[in-house]
Amino acid sequence: MDIRVDPQPEADLPADVLERARAVAAAPVSLVTGVDVALIAGGGMPVEAGNLVDYVARAANDFASQIRMEKGAERVAALRAELARRGLDGFVVPMADEYQNEFVPRHAQRLAWLSGFLGSAGAIIVLADKAAVFVDGRYTLQVRDQVDLEVFETRSYLDVPKWVGETMKTGQTLGYDPWLHTETGVKALLEACEKAGAELVAVDGNPIDAVWTDQPPRPLARIVPHDLRYTGEPAADKRARMAEAVKSAGASALALSATDSIAWLLNIRGADVARTPLALSYALLHDDASVDLFVDERKVDAALGAHLGNQVRVEPEAALALALAGFRDKPVMVDPASAPVWFVDRLEQGGATIVRKTDPIQKAKALKNPAELNGTRAAHKRDGVALAKFFCWLAANAPKGTVDELSAVERLQAFRQQGDLFRDLSFDTISGAGPNGAIVHYRSSERTNRTLALGELYLVDSGAQYLDGTTDVTRAVAIGTPSAEHRDRFTRVLRGHIALAMARFPKGTTGHQLDVLARMPLWQGGFNFNHGTGHGVGSYLGVHEGPHSISPRPSSVALEPGMIVSNEPGYYKEGDYGIRMENLVAVVPAEPGEDDSPFYELETLTLAPIDRSLIDPAMMTGPELDWLNAYHRRVRDEIGPRLDDKTRAWLEAATAPITA
């Protein structure tokens, strides 16, 4: 149903209040504090809070309802008319916004608005007579459900160059918005166009924005300081340290669009996008350790100003263009894989020299300091309490047939919200019963919701944002009695998880090297899983962060102490069930090796029982069973004392030792 905003009740409110209210509605509403009425009021006249909260809810609902598959034909037609007006033969619509962050705010969900596709990665190319949605393996099925196949063909993301080569003609022009593509991304598009003899053209102003008449505003949410007790390092020290990195790379400034880098650098957190406390902004870090922060100034209150100090100049986003143009003959560092190519264009127009280097903040941010590591350990204990309560509740209720995917999600969130320092989920919970568990990036909806049924597996992948740490955990559990096949596959996945968890490795080892450990027990049976084994995780920041990973994809980034990474092998049988076994781990120093050479190991952070009914101990080696029993003892010892009697009794049974 398409609920439109009724302007009547707000007729008495001033235009600027309504404008702020719509912008607040374009940001997610805090699970902890609700709608930020004071921000909407803007320190001006008193306003009726109830009315405002209602208005924000309706506006948010309106924004959400704009994503509609059945509008695809009409919207693509409007876009085509706009392209024709501009003399363009085609246009690339990426998933990303200017910040290349995985959670994209409402106004920048252009791909979803155009097509209805709600995956987290992909691209659309619209030509005069053809349009295609390109997605990766995770979304092959989902995309066909979510877009109008009369309007779009669906293709593999890898086919972009081939498709461009086949469909575009010599001399044709393909437009792209230089704000929404990195230089690395544009290079790939350029190659594809060159092969087709087509020309790739940067547009001035996104043509979708021109036809999206009720496009939501940019989100408005207050930016807050992130306390030193959680960050462990004052922002001034971080600025000085990173300014040294900029200088030693031969640059006089670093141009930043990565909002997680900015959040870490300045010890600030925002609320502009879902599930990650980011503030949409740009920044220039100068070699004198001062920063220009380009941001909607309504988000910055006095407390934040005091926190930032006089070495951080807050400026409106519109001032960025002029600032980038002011580096004539100076070297400016840009990460070609994360900054919009618009940065590079603008800097070059201004006569700056581009120093192309990986953003040094990404690695610095990945190396958690002791305060951050202790914070995440504490957060994982609180998360473990919520998980124990949830799985205890699930064990009692699911076999009765009274639990479905959506009610499970609600219950799990409720348990988490009881924990101290909880701010939000870290991503939308994946709650997949039976065959839905086999969809790797499944999100339950009313349409797909399933009751958890006896004899089936249930997969739940979830996480939370606490002020002191970000969590991410997956468990597969059997509802009732699992089959022999369930146990075989689960035990293989678990053995892979344990092989990685037990790894000890010398300095310099990459996650790419370790990846095979998590796969070999599956490979031995002719099975595999079609995703990485581990992604980096932030400290009250992104639940997916770089630069490290554990993956079959080549990477030269070594795992270093302080990095947090997930350990999540899985197995998926389409149309039947899904298994994933995910704990977060931290890279920590191990006992040094021979000649005192540095060795590292993985400290498991996540504390939640592993379903014993899914384990076949006969398939496991002695050291694997030892690991499992020691892990369960740890869960019992650390989480048990924080539980009520009933839940503790359940946990003790759920973590009892297993022998071969």
Shortest distance, position 551 Cβ to a second copy, whole Å: 10
Nearest to 219 by CA among 79, 106, 381, 70: 106
* Partners of 545 in the β-ladder: 536
Q: Among residues 538 and 578, whose Cβ is nearest to a second copy?
A: 578
Cα torsion through 297, 301, 302, 305, rounded to 10: -50
- From residue 638, how far is each of 473, 608, 611 by CA, in Å? 17, 10, 18
Q: Among residues 106 and 489, whose Cβ is nearest to a second copy?
A: 489
Q: Among residues 321 and 502, whose Cβ is nearest to a second copy?
A: 502
Q: Among residues 77 and 660, whose Cβ is nearest to a second copy?
A: 660
Shortest distance, position 137 Cβ to a second copy, whole Å: 13
Nearest to 507 by CA among 568, 546, 562, 545: 562
Nearest to 582 by CA among 474, 500, 499: 474
Q: How far apart are CA 472 and CA 465, in angstroms?
A: 9
Q: Among residues 434 and 521, whose Cβ is nearest to a second copy?
A: 521
Shortest distance, position 528 Cβ to a second copy, whole Å: 6
Q: Among residues 236 and 619, whose Cβ is nearest to a second copy?
A: 619
Q: Among residues 137 and 506, whose Cβ is nearest to a second copy?
A: 506
Nearest to 219 by CA among 10, 46, 63, 31: 63
Residues 6+ apart with CB under 8 A from 496: 517, 518, 519, 520, 521, 522, 533, 569, 581
507, two tokens: 């300095």
Q: How far apart are CA 434 and CA 401, in angstroms?
A: 13
| Alpha carbon of residue 530 to chain centroid | 19
Shortest distance, position 482 Cβ to a second copy, whole Å: 19
Q: Among residues 158 and 322, whose Cβ is nearest to a second copy?
A: 158
Shortest distance, position 632 Cβ to a second copy, whole Å: 21
Q: Among residues 425 and 514, whose Cβ is nearest to a second copy?
A: 514
Shortest distance, position 517 Cβ to a second copy, whole Å: 7
Q: Among residues 150 and 591, whose Cβ is nearest to a second copy?
A: 591
Shortest distance, position 603 Cβ to a second copy, whole Å: 16
Q: Using DSSP bridges, classify how beta strands 464-466 and 422-425 pair: parallel, antiparallel or unpaired.
A: antiparallel
- From residue 208, how far is each of 129, 219, 220 by CA, in Å? 17, 18, 22
Q: Can you give 164-179 as a three-state secondary structure string? A: HHHHCCCCCEEEECCC
> DSSP characters for 401-421?
T--BHHHHHHHHHHHHHTSTT
Shortest distance, position 381 Cβ to a second copy, whole Å: 28
642, two tokens: 């924080």
Shortest distance, position 575 Cβ to a second copy, whole Å: 13
Which residues lie near a second copy (CB under 8 A)?
Answer: 502-506, 509, 512-517, 520, 523-528, 552, 554, 556, 590-594, 597, 599, 621-623
Shortest distance, position 519 Cβ to a second copy, whole Å: 8
Find out whether 552 and 512 touch, Cβ atoms under 8 Å: yes
